[in-house]
Amino acid sequence: QVQLVESGGGLVQPGDSLRLSCAASGRTFSPYAMGWFRQAPGKGREFVAAISGSGRNKYYDDSVKGRFTISRDNAKNMLYLQMNSLKPEDTAVYYCAADSVPYRDILTPSIPWDAWGQGTLVTVSS
C-alpha cells in the first residue's frame, strides 16, 4: 500500500505562488498516475489535476488551467503542484492521490484513486 505525505501549504496573498509536494513510499511510484484534489471549507472534495506515470499526459480542471502545473520526479518518488496567480477561491486543504491501476494513460477525475495523503492547507488571503 502506498503512503502519501503532502507538504508546502501556507498562507499567501492573492497573486502569489506556492509549490506543493507529495512524497510517496511503500510502492513502486513510476507506473501509477497521480492526482491532486482539494477541499474548501464547507464544500466537497474536488479534482484539481492528474498526471500519468510517465509524466507525458496531464489533465487539469478548468478552474486551475493555465495557473497550476502538475509534475513528478519518478527518481525521487515525488509529486508536485506549482500554483501561480493564486486566488482566494483556491483556499482549501490540498490532497495528493494515487491511482490503483498502473500504466494508465487516459486521465479523468474519476480514476479509482486508492491512496490519499493527510492534506496540506493553502490559504489565500490579503
User: pLDDT tens, position by position, for the chain (126 residues)?
Assistant: 899 999 999 999 999 999 999 999 999 999 999 999 999 999 999 999 999 999 999 999 999 999 999 999 999 999 999 999 999 999 999 999 999 999 988 899 999 998 999 999 999 999
| 3-state SS class at 109 | coil
Q: Quote the pLDDT of residue 73.
A: 97
* Interatomic CA distance for residues 110 and 125, integer angstroms: 31
* Interatomic CA distance for residues 101 and 52, integer angstroms: 11
Q: Quote the pLDDT of residue 106.
A: 87
> 65-102 in b/e burial notation, b at 16+ Cβ within 10 A?
eeebbbebeeeebbbbbebeebeeebbbbbbbbbbeee
* Interatomic CA distance for residues 42 and 10, integer angstroms: 19
